[in-house]
Structure 1
Amino acid sequence: MEKLLEYLETLGEKIDLKDYDVEYSSGVLTLRCGPSGTYVINKQPPNKQIWLSSPISGPKRYDYDLKHQKWFYNRDNSTLDGLLNEELSVIFNTKIDI
């Protein structure tokens, strides 16, 4: 989460989007993307999951795969970083590579 936070803070300094804001508190990362909506990413330690709420694709629950060292959504086998790269690239009109 800290790595993601750092990436998004750096991204905010590079892009010109009104109402862009990122904050992290108590295991919850909130990314406000102006009129495109708000992402909420939070740790779920008891379940060993990360939960994502996306203004584009909706809610998802990710499980960590040790072999691939990535967070996967079991319903469609997509990754957390893949989804964020895809959606944020559209929102910011630039290639995002988290």
Structure 2
Amino acid sequence: MASRKLALGLTAARRLRSRSTVLVLSSPLLEGSTSTSHVAQSTGDAPGPSAVDYRSILPEDEYHKLADETIHDLLEKLEEYGDSLQMDGFDIDYGNQVLTLRLGELGTYVVNKQTPNRQIWLSSPRLSTFVHSGPSRFDWDAPTNGWIYRRTGANLVELLQKEIGELCGTPVELS
């Protein structure tokens, strides 16, 4: 009997997760507008805000152009930096749209494209930089002409320049 109740409960939970949620919001700020309410629709398994349609923010071809330019510029400048630096374990590699910078015992940086989100992701060995787990997600910001981490406002190139220079003990120019 208990297993049947559990099965019925799981079935009901699945049905609830698969339905759309529609919220109708009234706002006194909208008085005088032609509409007295706004409709926000969310679909999916998780509660919370709807997923952003990144295609409407930055077209895919423009995203690839900007992300590829940024990653290739970083690759060239980091290769030059590595040639001038005497450090065991310094290695830079680029393949499959992933830039990997190894700094020996100091750690590894990984910079890669995330096309569906129109982002560049960064994994950093510096634990103090980020208070969350996982990669940091940088979005293109046209007004600043750079990749910006929305949680902190950090610029990708400036952040890498600061961290790598501090870790290696020698300033690096990446911009």
TM-score when scaled to structure 2? 0.54
> Corresponding residue for 2:87?
17
The structure 1 segments of at least 4 consecutive aligned residues displaced by more than 2 Å after TM superposition are none
> Corresponding residue for 2:74?
4
More helix per residue? 2
| Residue 46, structure 1, aligned to residue 116, structure 2 | yes
Q: Which runs of 5+ in 2 are unaligned?
A: 1-70
Q: Give the deviation of 1:97 after TM superposition.
A: 2.0
Q: Which amino acid aligns with 2:172?
A: I
> Radius of gyration: which is bigger?
2
Q: Please give the root-mean-square deviation of Cα atoms over the aligned residues, in Å.
A: 1.0
> Corresponding residue for 1:66?
142
Residue 50 of structure 1 aligns to a residue in which SS? strand
Residue 75 of structure 2 aligns to a residue in which SS? helix
Between 1 and 2, higher relative CO (CA 8 Å, sep ≥ 6) is seen in: 1
Q: How many residues align?
A: 98
TM-score when scaled to structure 1? 0.95
Q: Which runs of 5+ in 1 are unaligned?
A: none
* Kept in 1: contact 2:139–2:148 (CA 8 A): yes
Q: Which amino acid aligns with 2:114?
A: Q
